[in-house]
Structure 1
Amino acid sequence: MIKYLFKTVWHFDAPPQKVWELIKDARSMPEWWPGVKRFEILSKEQEMLQGCRIQTAVKGLTGDLNFELEITKAVPFGEIVMQSRGDLTGQGVWTLTADNGNTISTYIWEVSTTGRLMNFLGFVFKPLFIWNHNRVMKAGYTALKKRL
């Protein structure tokens, strides 16, 4: 397995409550976030709440990355902690911090690849995979800013 540690920091000219309202409606993510192909909530609750399971597909460089997220902690307007299983295994922590009426969004994504091809190619192409991750995250940031 190849390990990756990503830290993404976004700044929004909106309070955490407004940002939270958009990200907690996870079902709509494929509509506005380029690169996110599937974000299907499998749980009875149709919001990103503790215990929620989400089937996810993200466009990768060698094909789609398919993984399931399980939310292990959800603090309204503040933090979501997710465990990932599938093509990516690990943990993501998304925090929203108030900053003078604005929001600082920090996403820490610590995962390992499980697929043979991704692991084989990761030894050589890891910088390219990191670039792709950053590209997808930047597209999400741009789209989320427009929605705010």
Structure 2
Amino acid sequence: MDPNHYRFRGVWRLAAPASAVYAALEDVQGYPRWWPEIREVRRTGADSGDVVVRALLPYRLVIGLTATRRDPAAGVLEVAMRGDLDGWSRFTVTADEQPGGAGGVRESSAAGGAGGAGGAGSRVLFEEDTRPGKPLLRRLALPLHPLFRANHAVMMCRGRRGLAAHLAERGDR
């Protein structure tokens, strides 16, 4: 196992139409309004920018993002990452017609399972394949690998909750 290689995968289920979820995720400039760990977004080009991220651990990351795929018909948003993290990240948004649907917000992992009640909504598959670009993070990877993974899990959980609240405030339920 390479302690400097991270693969993340998770599923968010949201009580909002796929088109509204896709639009919110496509608006990277708006992330700081609803995702607590995304502290700042700076546009650097038409399809690129830098995000400043700080989760529970006492360090911040500056990650350059460049859009590599934006496909509303398939519900796919993908970026290449460079800087303090190098790799790629992807959201795939689809309608969720699952029984027990997305009347509330549910989260499940690749291993499955989460609760919820009534109706249809959206399913968001998050995938990321990355390596730290920051030298300090590479040096600390072996002893702190589980802590880095837990930090990412907290960030993603708070992102899901923030997005659900943001969509509900806008009436996208």
> TM-score, normalised to structure 2's length?
0.77
Moved over 4 A (4+): none
Find the structure with the greater CA-based Rg: 2
- Picking from 8, 11, 26, the partner of 1:9 is 11
- 2:31 alignment partner in structure 1: 29
Q: How large is the RMSD of aligned CA atoms in angstroms?
A: 1.5
- 1:104 alignment partner in structure 2: 123
- 1:20 alignment partner in structure 2: 22
More strand as a share of residues = 1
5+ residue gaps, structure 2: 98-119, 168-173
| Aligned residue identity for 1:57 | V
> TM-score, normalised to structure 1's length?
0.89
Alpha-carbon distance in structure 1 between the residues aligned to 2:63 and 2:27:
19
- 2:147 alignment partner in structure 1: 128
- 1:47 alignment partner in structure 2: none
- 2:62 alignment partner in structure 1: 66
- Picking from 163, 168, 173, the partner of 1:144 is 163
Alpha-carbon distance in structure 2 between the residues aligned to 1:41 and 1:139:
23
Alpha-carbon distance in structure 2 between the residues aligned to 1:109 and 1:83:
10
Alpha-carbon distance in structure 1 between the residues aligned to 2:77 and 2:24:
13
Higher relative contact order (CA 8 A, sep 6+): 2
Is 1:84 aligned to 2:81, yes or no?
A: yes
Residue 57 of structure 1 and its aligned partner are, at CA, apart by: 1.1
Residue 43 of structure 1 and its aligned partner are, at CA, apart by: 2.2
Cα deviation code 1:74-131 (max 9, x no counterpart):
0116001110010100011110011224111011010000222101111101100100
Residue 21 of structure 1 and its aligned partner are, at CA, apart by: 2.0
Residue 31 of structure 1 and its aligned partner are, at CA, apart by: 2.1
5+ residue gaps, structure 1: 45-51
Alpha-carbon distance in structure 1 between the residues aligned to 2:30 and 2:78:
19
